[in-house]
Amino acid sequence: MSYEILYIDKVVKDDISKISGSYRDRIKLAIETRLLTKPDLYGKPLRRSLKGYLKLRVGDYRIVFRIENQKVKIQEEIENEELLSEKALEDDLELDEDLDRLPI
């Protein structure tokens, strides 16, 4: 079963541009091999105010996402030292719908 990947605009504009090339490649590979095929298997559920979201660890980064109707909505790419509980994620954030290629 294959999933579609959607990125919120903030991830494309802010988060990805801050990641070094080697980590960017690792994150892209993780998204293509794990989140496109079995995001519910590889993602670890978050709790409290982030209930309903999952995270995937890639080195020092966490990819925060939500699964909705065969779509994986990537909400954040967070460096390890940042606390997930301090991140405010909103369901109504605009998504980057151009999915011809991954933005990484």
**Whole-model pTM above 0.85?**
no
Amino acid identity, position 61: Y
pLDDT at 100 over 70: no
pLDDT at 31 over 70: yes
Q: What SS3 state is found at 58?
A: strand
b/e code 53-86 from CB counts within 10 Å (16+ = b) = bbbbebeebbbbbbbeeeebbbbbbbeeeeebee
pLDDT at 53 over 70: yes
The sheet carrying 61-68 orders its strands as: 44-45, 54-58, 61-68, 71-79, 4-8, 95-96
pLDDT at 102 over 60: no
CATH of 4-81, one of 3.40.50.150, 3.40.50.300, 3.30.2310.20, 3.40.50.12780: 3.30.2310.20
